[in-house]
């Protein structure tokens, strides 16, 4: 079973209260109208739209399970709803990332944020992927952290983790460049360390991401910059899909926050809401 199918199945097993941030810009409103239409049909969901200005959705019936909250600071308002347990999870939606990330760091007293994305290629193969933030996954310790967190998430969702570590080249490329050599050495050490910790299905896929996807459900990029470029190339240029990104420990141990692109297609917001709902089994 595909990961996103399992996630949707889990999400539909219970009643969920999910808040999503909405930019009042007309370009985004049309997408949100389609999201509303989708969840109007699902009695398992209460969707709370949080926006800075009153948005024009008068031409679409919101239904009894859709609520609109107006706030001068939608990012903070959603976090407040989460902290007060008035919702089970929040989704960034079409809000600006800069203010949203600032509010998350401030209210949860974090210096750094880490996320694991759920992506899908054009062949319908979905997989978790990290790091995707440009300032994430720079050190050996940060990569090890991502591996362990993603491994645990896959297990809790009911999948057998198979993890591919990507590097800057093939083993035969050692000696061409010091940085490339370093990424290869780190990848090899990560595999060794994780196998010593009991992770069975983890391997170094070198730079061969096209091979990694054939036999893994979780890919680790050499660093956040390359990970972000892979994400953008797949989703924005290559007709792939994003299903949202989970904010991981220390957040997912107690609160569910899902990131999205503000320019994402409708399916990304629907999947992200489903991911927020299903992720309650992680805490």
Q: Tokens for 2?
A: 């595909």
- Bridge-based pairing state of the strands 89-91 and 257-259: parallel
Nearest Cα residue to 180 out of 191, 165, 164, 169: 169
Domains 1-110+250-283 and 118-241 fall in the same CATH topology: no
Domain residue spans of the chain: 1-110+250-283, 118-241
Pairing of strands 16-22, 45-51: parallel
Of 120-134, 166-180, 251-265, the poorest mean pLDDT is in 251-265
Sheet arrangement for strand 126-130:
66-70, 45-51, 16-22, 89-91, 257-259, 241-247, 115-120, 126-130, 218-220, 163-166, 202-206
Identify the pLDDT of residue 11.
Answer: 95
Q: What is the pLDDT of residues 183-237, one digit of tens each?
A: 999 999 999 999 999 998 999 999 999 999 999 999 999 999 999 999 999 998 9
pLDDT in tens, 129-143: 999 988 899 899 999
Which range has the worst mean pLDDT, 61-75, 141-155, 186-200? Answer: 61-75
Residue 58: its pLDDT value, please?
Answer: 55
Q: Can you name the residues that pair with 119 across neighbouring β-strands?
A: 127, 242
pLDDT in tens, 152-183: 999 999 999 999 999 999 999 999 999 999 99
Please give the backbone phi and psi of residue 265, each rounded to the nearest 5 degrees, phi first.
-75, 170
Which class is domain 1-110+250-283?
alpha beta
Q: How far apart are the C-alpha atoms of 191 and 234, rounded to whole Å?
A: 26
pLDDT of res. 89: 96
pLDDT at residue 219, rounded to an integer: 98
Place of tokens 């927020």: 276
Q: Residue 282 gets which letter from DSSP?
A: G
Task: Extract the runs of DSSP E, i.e. beta strands, from the chain.
Answer: 16-22, 45-51, 66-70, 89-91, 115-120, 126-130, 163-166, 202-206, 218-220, 241-247, 257-259
Structure tokens at 277: 């709902």
Residue 61: the pLDDT is 54
User: What is the pLDDT averaged over residues 79-89?
Assistant: 96
* Whether the predicted pLDDT of 60 surpasses 90: no
Second-level CATH architecture of 118-241: 3-Layer(aba) Sandwich (3.40)
Query: Which of 102-111, 117-126, 163-172 has the least mean pLDDT?
Result: 102-111
């Amino acid at each position: 079973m595909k990961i996103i199918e399992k996630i949707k199945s889990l999400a539909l097993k219970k009643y969920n209260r999910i808040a999503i941030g909405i930019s009042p810009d007309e370009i985004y409103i049309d997408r949100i109208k389609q999201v509303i239409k989708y969840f109007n049909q699902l009695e398992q969901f209460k969707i709370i739209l949080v926006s800075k200005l009153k948005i024009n959705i008068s031409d679409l019936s919101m239904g009894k399970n859709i609520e609109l909250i107006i706030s001068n600071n939608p990012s903070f308002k959603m976090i407040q709803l989460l902290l007060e347990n008035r919702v089970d999870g929040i989704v960034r939606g079409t809000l600006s990332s800069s203010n949203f990330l600032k509010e998350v760091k401030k209210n949860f007293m974090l210096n750094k944020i880490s996320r694991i994305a759920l992506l899908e290629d054009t062949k319908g193969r979905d997989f978790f992927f990290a790091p995707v933030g440009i300032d994430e996954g720079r050190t050996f310790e940060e990569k090890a952290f991502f591996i362990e967190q993603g491994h645990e998430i896959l297990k809790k969702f009911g999948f057998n983790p198979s993890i591919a570590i990507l590097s800057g080249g093939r083993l035969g490329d050692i000696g061409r460049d010091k940085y490339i050599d370093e990424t290869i050495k780190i990848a090899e050490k990560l595999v060794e360390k994780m196998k010593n910790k009991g992770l069975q299905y983890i391997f170094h896929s070198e730079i061969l991401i096209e091979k990694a996807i054939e036999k893994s459900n979780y890919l680790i990029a050499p660093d956040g910059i390359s990970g972000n470029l892979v994400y953008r190339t797949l989703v924005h240029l290559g007709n792939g899909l994003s299903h949202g990104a989970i904010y991981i420990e220390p957040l997912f141990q107690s609160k569910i926050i899902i990131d999205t692109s503000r320019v994402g297609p409708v399916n990304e917001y629907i999947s992200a809401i489903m991911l927020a709902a299903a992720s309650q089994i992680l805490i």
